[in-house]
Amino acid sequence: MFNIIDKVWIIPALMAASFLVILFFGKRWGTRVTAGIGIASVSICLILSVVVAGNWINRVNNPPTGAALAAEIVQANGLTPQTGKTIGEEINAATKDSGETVATDSQSASGESHASEAGAYGGEHESVPPVVRTVTWFQIGGLQFEMGTLVDGLAAMMLITVCIISLLVHIYSTEYLRGDVRFTHYYAFLSLFTASMLFYVLSSNTLQMLVGWELVGVCSFGLIGHWWEEKKNTDAALKAFLTNRVGDIGLILGVIITFFAAGGSSFNVLHLNEYALSGNANTALLLIGALCLFGGVTSKSGQFPLHTWLPDAMAGPTPVSALIHAATMVVAGVYLIARLYGVFFSGLAIGSSTFHYVAFIGGFTTIIGGLLAFVQTDLKKVLAYSTISQLGYMVMALGVGAWTAGVFHLFTHAFFKACLFLGAGSVAHACHHSFDMREMGGLRKKMPVTHATFLVATLALAGIFPLAGFWSKDEILAGSANGQENAYTIMLIFGLITAFLTAAYMGRAYWMTFWGKYRGHAHPHESPKVITVPLIILAGCAVVLGFTNFPKSFFGFKLPGSFTTRFEHFVEPTFAFPAIQHAPFTPWLAIASTILAAGGLFVAYQYFEKNRGPHGLTSRSKIAHAGYTFLENKYYLDNLYTGVIAGSTTGPLARAANWFNQNIIDGVVNGIGNGARKIAGVVYVFADQIIIDGAVNGSGQGSEGAGQLLRKIQTGKVQQYASILFAGAVVLAGVLVFVV
Amino acid sequence: MFLNQFLLLAAILFCIGVYGVLARKNGVLVLMSIELILNSVNINLVAFGAYWHVNDMANVTGQVFALFVIAVAAAEVGVGLALVLLIYRNRQSINIDDVDMLKG
Amino acid sequence: MLALLVAQNIAFYIIAVMMVFGAIRVVTTKNVMHAALWLVLVLSGAAAQFILLAAEFVAITQVLVYLGAIIVLFLFGIMLTRAKTGTDDDLDNKKSAKFIGAGIGLALFGLMSYSLIDGFKDTEFGDLTVQRTAEVSDSIFSTYLLPFEVLSVLLLAALIGAIVIARRD
């Protein structure tokens, strides 16, 4: 029976086909058909993704066990037993802690029991192996490199997220980019991006993830620089791509190092995780591998210090920013950590530490992103720094061991951030494509739907009950408060501070944009339905999706078990996954974060709307002014990168390299050439002229000399000839007589 | 009579003829020495011919051969003297040492 | 028999000595005419040896051809080349050449005598029977016809050649 979960590669393939069709025929068939193809393809992919999710939910509810499991694995080559054990042993190892016994041949039987409470894997259901389908890509020296798909809850969740947001962006772009000079090109890139992101998400091994990673990077480059007629757009695109490249060094190193750390036999994600968790792996290598992989995450997911490209990437069209730089591409790094969590958990010893690099960077990023959002006048830049800050949250969550919290925040953040971005796009669409908040104001009356959705999304981002952000952010804070064995206190403090900051800067943006008097020059009006309907859908998601992970006990209120923590139940892996502690709902923390959020909004209201507070502080106080300038220059990081690092490379380093090249290397090469010439000269004079020619001439002269000698015999005198003749005859005769 | 007698006689004459060829400067005298050599060869031939004739009556090869040698010698002397004459006509001397224009 | 043999031997030795002496005189005399005359001695000695060897026809032919024609030819040659009568000192090569010649001659003689003595000692003639002219002519004109014809052509060639060479024109 055809099961889409078996053939899940169709989904990215469909988007890739859409890309090719648009690429080759889009210009000819016109913008309407192009948009239609794109939207149709994404819709089909969305439907298929929902089916896949349904299949997965089915699988979790009725996991294959015993003989069925063994048969399925053997038949579909689902798992790759690369840890040196047989398939049966692996299944046994995977399922024994849930109280099951598994038979590898068809003896099914007694002793099968489904433990439904906590096994050693912490998941509250029995181990459900993901659906892995691979083919051998190539073989080198006994190692098989595979290509395939891996579907589990995380992948299914990502599929749905990417498809929904991509669909909404496709629809949105028909209006936003109407009349654009490169409409079909844009849609082609959107399809390619969706295909790449889906490909990346479904990868079964790190090599494939590398391919998908790079592809989405390329699409990002292409889409940011969509209006490349203006130099600042191409600069932004290049900055994005090159900064990502710097991080990719780490990624590639990480892929290689983890390959070797896990025994050097396979790139398969499950194998890497299992090997890392089994304790056989070289811990030093694992740590280095995890940190290298995190290098890639730093650039792609906008962590400090490689976050500088994200704000500049706002030069691209707003739907692109919504799709790529809010919801999907930037979370590729977070997804990487989530997918290879075994490696990170073991390598960074998440379970037993209170402070490590990944968690710290995550936390630090949240704060610096939040601080920078205050000094922006461009609405999209505010949202960009907000994205950086929220990505920091996700990384921090994964860093403290709150896997589900981080991934759940990824899920909810995608929707409300996309809603915010599209709302900003709607606002700009009405304000002549200007995002400058100083020229906005009072738009709530003129654009009611946009205002409403923007408000909902802002409250969700700030983390106000009962919107989505509240649940996800609260889980992160609870996770850092409880930690695994020890609490990650510093991260908790970072998180709380950022909760306040988030609410504050979003409040600032909201009030500057939608309240007060309109300060611009355009005539804003509500955007057409094509723009507002996606906004409504996304805002609705922002409201509702928080309840998918309703905690088990909410201030004492308990829902039946089949309604709580559904997200965690279906998405968190149970196979090749470390045993992590799940922090329960912490009431005091929830209250504290809500107070902080509300406080932030209130402060923003007072400062920006009511104009209370220390306005003009920066012109009065030197310290404040210095601080403001520091923030305005984005901590001078751009200057560091461009001026110091790149500048010293292009300037002194390049000059030094040039000097080295011209004088030393060229000197050596020229010297060798000159030396060869001299040697050739010597060889010519000495060896060739004297020796060889001497030999040749000498042989000639020798012959001549011999000839000169011999010609003396030829005297012309008959008697001499006769005497020689007779003498010869005597000799010959003597020989004949005596010898022969 | 021993065969050897004749053969040795022929050998002596031959060697004297060789000496004469190498030692004499006058062309005619060289030719005479050549005649000596040829005669010694004739003696040799006839001696052997006689020796074999004793056993085989029909074998007169020695004589026949000697006759041929005589005829050839005659022809050779004729031509040789004609040459000497020519040389004398051109150079007024038959000093064969002077005839060395083929020297290399 | 013995007496006959003895007589033949004595005759042989006497004639042989004469011949050798004559030959030596041919190559050493300083008088060209004398050299020719000594040559006559040698040649006639050879004819006598032929008689001793019971080869009559060859002996007569030797006399006729050599003594009759070739010596005359030599004498004509001596005359036409205005050889100096009486002693002529300019007849021999220089001493070194003579030594070389002598050396070669002696070496040759040594070699030949060694091989002859080694090969033919004690080989005696038997009863020398006369080789009749008729047999000789039979042999020439049957077995050796071809060389005979060739020889005649050779003589013709020599004749024409000599005439052409010595022609005064």
Residue A618, pLDDT score:
63
Residue C3, pLDDT score:
61
- Neighbours of C, requiring at least 3 CB pairs below 8 Å, are A, B
Instruction: Please state, in angstroms and rounded to a whole number, the distance separating the CA atoms of residues A196 and A217.
Output: 9
pLDDT band at A98 (very low <50, low <70, confident <90, very high): very low
Instruction: Please state, in angstroms and rounded to a whole number, the distance separating the CA atoms of residues C117 and A78.
Output: 113
Nearest chain A Cα to C98, which residue? A723
Beta-carbon separation of C19 and B2 below 8 A: no
**Residue B7 scores a pLDDT above 90:** yes
**Residue C50 scores a pLDDT above 50:** yes
Tell me if A549 sits within 8 A of A443, measured CB to CB: no
Residue A338, pLDDT score:
92
**Residue A509 scores a pLDDT above 60:** yes
Which tens digits make up the pLDDT trace of A123-163?
445 677 787 777 888 888 877 788 888 888 899 999 999 99
pLDDT band at A731 (very low <50, low <70, confident <90, very high): very high
A412-424 residues labelled b (16+ CB within 10 A) or e (exposed): bbbbbbbbbbbbb
Q: Taking CB atoms and an 8 Å cutoff, what residues of chain B touch C36?
A: 32
Tell me if A633 sits within 8 A of A539, measured CB to CB: no
Residue A84, pLDDT score:
37
Choose among C9, C81, C101: nearest Cβ to B88.
C81
Residue A560, pLDDT score:
73
- Average of per-residue pLDDT across B45-59: 87
Sign of the dihedral defined by the CA atoms of residues A367, A370, A371, A372, in that order: positive
Residue A671, pLDDT score:
85
| Mutation for A interface: C99, C104, C112, C118, most A CBs within 10 A | C104
CA distances from C75 to A20, A258, A316, B85 (A): 125, 125, 135, 12
| Mutation for A interface: B15, B19, B21, B101, most A CBs within 10 A | B21
Residue A219, pLDDT score:
92
Choose among C82, C120, C147: nearest Cβ to B4.
C120
Using the Cβ of C39 and the Cβ atoms of chain B, whether some distance falls under 8 Å is answered with yes
Using the Cβ of A719 and the Cβ atoms of chain C, whether some distance falls under 8 Å is answered with yes
Tokens of A359: 């968690």
Q: Give the best-scoring range by mean pLDDT among A323-327, A511-515, A689-693, B27-31.
A: B27-31
- Average of per-residue pLDDT across A522-540: 86
* DSSP 3-state of A651: helix
Q: Which class does domain B3-95 fall in?
A: mainly alpha
Higher local confidence (pLDDT), A188 or A113: A188
Instruction: Please state, in angstroms and rounded to a whole number, the distance separating the CA atoms of residues A275 and A85.
Output: 11
Residue C24, pLDDT score:
94
Residue A436, pLDDT score:
84
Instruction: Please state, in angstroms and rounded to a whole number, the distance separating the CA atoms of residues A725 and C100.
Output: 12
Q: Where are the domains of chain C?
A: 1-86, 94-123, 132-169
Residue A111, pLDDT score:
25
Residues A103/A105/A106/A110 CA torsion (nearest 10 deg): -20
Q: Taking CB atoms and an 8 Å cutoff, what residues of chain C touch B15?
A: 105-106, 108-109, 112
Residue A285, pLDDT score:
87
Tokens of A366: 């949240």
**Residue A201 scores a pLDDT above 90:** yes
pLDDT band at A629 (very low <50, low <70, confident <90, very high): confident
Higher local confidence (pLDDT), A709 or A523: A709
Beta-carbon separation of B22 and A723 below 8 A: yes
Which tens digits make up the pLDDT trace of B55-76?
887 888 999 999 999 999 999 9
In the chain, the amino acid numbered A130 is P
Residue A80, pLDDT score:
44
Which tens digits make up the pLDDT trace of B86-100?
999 988 888 888 888
Helices (H), A62-106: 66-76, 87-95
- Average of per-residue pLDDT across C21-50: 94
| Mutation for B interface: A710, A713, A719, most B CBs within 10 A | A719
- Average of per-residue pLDDT across A441-456: 87
Using the Cβ of A732 and the Cβ atoms of chain C, whether some distance falls under 8 Å is answered with no
Using the Cβ of C91 and the Cβ atoms of chain B, whether some distance falls under 8 Å is answered with yes
Q: Taking CB atoms and an 8 Å cutoff, what residues of chain C touch B97?
A: 93
Q: Taking CB atoms and an 8 Å cutoff, what residues of chain A touch B15?
A: none
Choose among B18, B21, B97: nearest Cβ to A717.
B97
Which tens digits make up the pLDDT trace of A35-88?
999 999 999 999 999 999 988 888 888 777 666 665 555 544 444 444 334 444
Q: Taking CB atoms and an 8 Å cutoff, what residues of chain B touch A714?
A: 102-104
**Residue C5 scores a pLDDT above 80:** no
Residue C2, pLDDT score:
61
Nearest to A551, CA basis, from A515, A514, A589: A589
| Mutation for A interface: C96, C106, C108, most A CBs within 10 A | C108
Instruction: Please state, in angstroms and rounded to a whole number, the distance separating the CA atoms of residues B69 and B63.
Output: 10
Q: Where are the domains of chain B?
A: 3-95
CA distances from B33 to A63, A297, B10, C24 (A): 134, 122, 14, 10
Q: Give the CATH number of domain C1-86; options: 3.40.50.300, 1.20.120.1200, 1.10.760.10, 3.90.1150.10.
A: 1.20.120.1200
Beta-carbon separation of B94 and C81 below 8 A: yes
Round the average pLDDT of chain A to a whole number and report it: 82
In the chain, the amino acid numbered A688 is D
**Residue A268 scores a pLDDT above 90:** no
Tokens of A621: 């106080």
Which tens digits make up the pLDDT trace of A362-412?
999 999 998 888 888 889 999 999 999 999 999 999 998 889 899 999 999
